[in-house]
Structure 1
């Protein structure tokens, strides 16, 4: 793909940031206070060099910067600094050791505070923190209004991990994205309270990422309350950190506050470690009664089954299904076992999960990218926010059911048309290197009512059912078959067993091929 040689010239980053601000004000302008709107207007009134330098600051770590380390040849730095200072977007850095020391090299700390340069940096920093502040021989600046700008980034991307580099990727034509409407009717944040809650959790997530293990207890003591999914996901991260750092009682206390998988599983495992098998069996009861998703069912199949055997208890039996198994000699050569297995069939392809997700992506493309409120934040998404959640089906049920009925009657023409129209456009479901015309023709042997069964199972738990699909799609005698390939010493994994059980239960053509 050709690269635009002018994509990263001059102050391209400022153009990206101003496009972001314009989109945010257009979509969420009613959520800003009068003071915040004035601040954004003041930013727009800065000279170009000032706006560009501030944007550079936003792309760097930390709020404080050394003037002697600024190297942006495209900018008039004295003009930019003067403009930012006059408008209040930067101020001289407060004389605090904690702000200063991260900006200095080890040699600079030793020279400024007259410390032994042979000390390790942590020891040197600890010693410097106990000494009076000493101003270095260069100007230090501290950003202002950064919290407002971070809120703008959050409003635009909907998360704390994407940034202006997304614009760069698109400008270089590395990725093409599906267009979809981004207007106030389909926006995610509906109130300032909603934004502030998400912003607080995003800030907390960054604090957790930077928190060393020895400070986790202090962080946990001030942990906010909550029950929404975003809070639960973040609290799960804290609990896992506590567990890994061997603080099992505190980790367990947090797991007990959570319902989002795998919190209940982790709770049972910790109880087994700390209180014994009988207590763990009692804690298992809610999971045995109603597993929330496939991961909890896998937990039952492995951990609970083993625990039940040790305690002499019985477990509810899964539906019995018989999967055809066969053995063949393992051919010589350096190819993967899946490629070797293809030699035993008339035609086929090694597709694994991409067969399931790719066909779903091609056949439901317009539905995946339909403008459901809260699904899309910005133009750089490979799918809606809820794509791999159980809510994906719930919010599009009517459209999905109509499409499933259509697929049962015939699906090949729609898939061909989507492949021709959308090839190369980013989609989390479609792995484009696999989807060539000959592979789609091979998949054309799959009856529509079989595909509809696959897709219904996938939609019950997209997060977990997108994996574990059989390795091969093969055609023998004009009929298709799905084949899971196992080489020497390889065993079926929980997700693979799950799909094999489902396919066999519905009498779909599937088998396991052992190469010995």
Structure 2
């Protein structure tokens, strides 16, 4: 960490690492312009390289020279000269009024447009000036009175493409390097070959970026029709890309539902195989007063539900559709209710209802912890560490993985079935306790999407291993691995241990007016089916109970 802080050009070294990594592992996916950029960048003066990287790593593409002052770079105008020559930045770009407002503070805007407008908020000032200043102008023409210079980054898309090829996703950014350099985040060191990479065809990179831009436009508020016109109508052969396309189409269709365009919503849902689309199609058919078609699709889904969530929703939808069609009333299967706890507690001044219950129930003989999803997932992550971080093809392709890249894919478990089975088989012996403790010690602090290091300590770990039977852990872990995306959440808020009796109880807490969520109901049903001790605690506040 100290070396990273002492190296004033640490961020430049990180950028160079990405260029070298991409050039070595993705060289066949680069076009001539991208290869040329990598080559020319190395020949550019160091201070110019550093200035460019500073701009790339900041938000946006417009910058003022006065805001680009870094001790290790020196004069930003001198450093920018080589970048302008290369065409990587544009000096004095033309800006519309909205872009100008993004660069200037309010007092600077008043110097540009007149102090007489000073009584208005910045947003109101923008609206007042839009009609009068509709045409873009060069920054210098706008801001002659400020004596500053502006630059526009012209290679942002190129750098996004390089970053995507390195990380395999667009949500990780350059800060990953900084956090690792400073020792804030540490990662498991996974061995992977030159063939271990996210993309194998340039068209896959193009498709990923295209879908990302479509999602950005949708989230920015563009109409469904405009965005949909850019979304490919033919499914991708690549399952990973098709999953992203399906997720976007589901979002677009849900928006159609919200605005009442049910015809388009139904068309999108019906052609989409992304999880959840079939259930929405059934609901849209029902809203369109097509109960026969809705029932037919619902029965097909009931015969082969795609998930526990879909099966749960069908238990609500199908009886309603049958009633609509005049069929016999059908009773829902009776569901055994979990143990119920009712508490009346003083309303806490600055404490959540879950923590209030924990404080009320905990004792030296029976401590209570607020764990929610973290404890069971952490125990799974520790026991199955080697399986989770096994260097399978397509799982890891850069040094900053907190989980395999295919974690959310349906075949995540299937691809590692033998490895997971070997880990879970330890639960049949006392070996699992030693394994979990060893990994807890050896991997402490390494990033994992399963392990919550901030929650887990030796005391909690010891209580969990002593009080939760191995067969219960195996049932928990197996269910999570069957559907990691949906089953990692919904676990009860609290866990209480009786160490002298080597037993435990899960407790879901519900405050006044709060109801169980669907994923919580599924976990409760699962626990009951496996004879796991579980309770739901309903809380009322003492100062309001008199009114009930």
Structure 1 length-normalised TM: 0.86
SS of the residue corresponding to residue 165 of structure 2 reads helix
The aligned runs of 1:336-347 (5 Å cut-off) are 336-343=356-363, 346-347=366-367
Q: Name the counterpart of 1:223.
A: 231
Are 1:379 and 2:399 an aligned pair? yes
The structure-2 alpha-carbon separation of the partners of 1:409 and 1:77, relative to structure 1 and needing over 3 Å to count, comes to same
Q: Name the counterpart of 1:456.
A: 478
The aligned runs of 1:47-58 (5 Å cut-off) are 47-58=45-56
* Deviation of 1:48 (Å): 0.9
Q: Name the counterpart of 1:82.
A: 81
* Partner Cα distance (1:156, 1:278) in 2: 50
What is the aligned counterpart of 1:474 among 497, 502, 512? 497
Deviates more, 1:442-451 or 1:477-486: 477-486
Are 1:259 and 2:282 an aligned pair? no
* Partner Cα distance (2:302, 2:48) in 1: 61
Q: Name the counterpart of 1:124.
A: 129
SS of the residue corresponding to residue 483 of structure 1 reads strand
Q: Name the counterpart of 2:544.
A: none
The aligned runs of 1:198-347 (5 Å cut-off) are 198-210=208-220, 212-213=221-222, 215-227=223-235, 228-275=242-289, 280-308=294-322, 313=327, 322=336, 325-327=339-341, 330=344, 334=348, 335-343=355-363, 346-347=366-367
Length, aligned pairs only: 512
Which consecutive unaligned segments of at least 5 residues does structure 2 have?
236-241, 349-354, 541-548
Are 1:195 and 2:209 an aligned pair? no
Q: Name the counterpart of 2:194.
A: 184
What is the aligned counterpart of 1:144 among 124, 149, 154? 154
SS of the residue corresponding to residue 491 of structure 2 reads coil
Deviates more, 1:217-226 or 1:422-431: 217-226
SS of the residue corresponding to residue 358 of structure 1 reads helix
Are 1:426 and 2:426 an aligned pair? no
Is contact 1:338–1:485 with CA below 8 Å preserved after alignment? no
* Partner Cα distance (2:54, 2:316) in 1: 51
Is contact 2:98–2:126 with CA below 8 Å preserved after alignment? no
SS of the residue corresponding to residue 480 of structure 2 reads helix
Are 1:494 and 2:494 an aligned pair? no
SS of the residue corresponding to residue 186 of structure 1 reads coil
The structure-2 alpha-carbon separation of the partners of 1:275 and 1:182, relative to structure 1 and needing over 3 Å to count, comes to same
* Partner Cα distance (2:136, 2:169) in 1: 40
The aligned runs of 1:155-174 (5 Å cut-off) are 155-174=165-184
The structure-2 alpha-carbon separation of the partners of 1:128 and 1:285, relative to structure 1 and needing over 3 Å to count, comes to farther
Q: Name the counterpart of 1:435.
A: 456
* Partner Cα distance (1:392, 1:40) in 2: 35
SS of the residue corresponding to residue 142 of structure 1 reads strand
SS of the residue corresponding to residue 482 of structure 1 reads strand
* Partner Cα distance (2:528, 2:404) in 1: 32
* Deviation of 1:357 (Å): 0.5
The structure-2 alpha-carbon separation of the partners of 1:20 and 1:110, relative to structure 1 and needing over 3 Å to count, comes to same
* Deviation of 1:356 (Å): 1.8
The structure-2 alpha-carbon separation of the partners of 1:458 and 1:104, relative to structure 1 and needing over 3 Å to count, comes to closer
* Deviation of 1:255 (Å): 2.5
* Deviation of 1:359 (Å): 0.9
Is contact 2:524–2:534 with CA below 8 Å preserved after alignment? yes
* Deviation of 1:81 (Å): 1.3
* Deviation of 1:165 (Å): 1.3
The CA RMSD over aligned residues, in Å, is 3.6
* Deviation of 1:306 (Å): 4.9
Q: Name the counterpart of 1:484.
A: 507
Is contact 1:115–1:124 with CA below 8 Å preserved after alignment? no
SS of the residue corresponding to residue 141 of structure 1 reads strand
* Deviation of 1:156 (Å): 1.4
Q: For CA contacts below 8 A with separation 6 or more, give which structure has more relative contact order.
A: 1
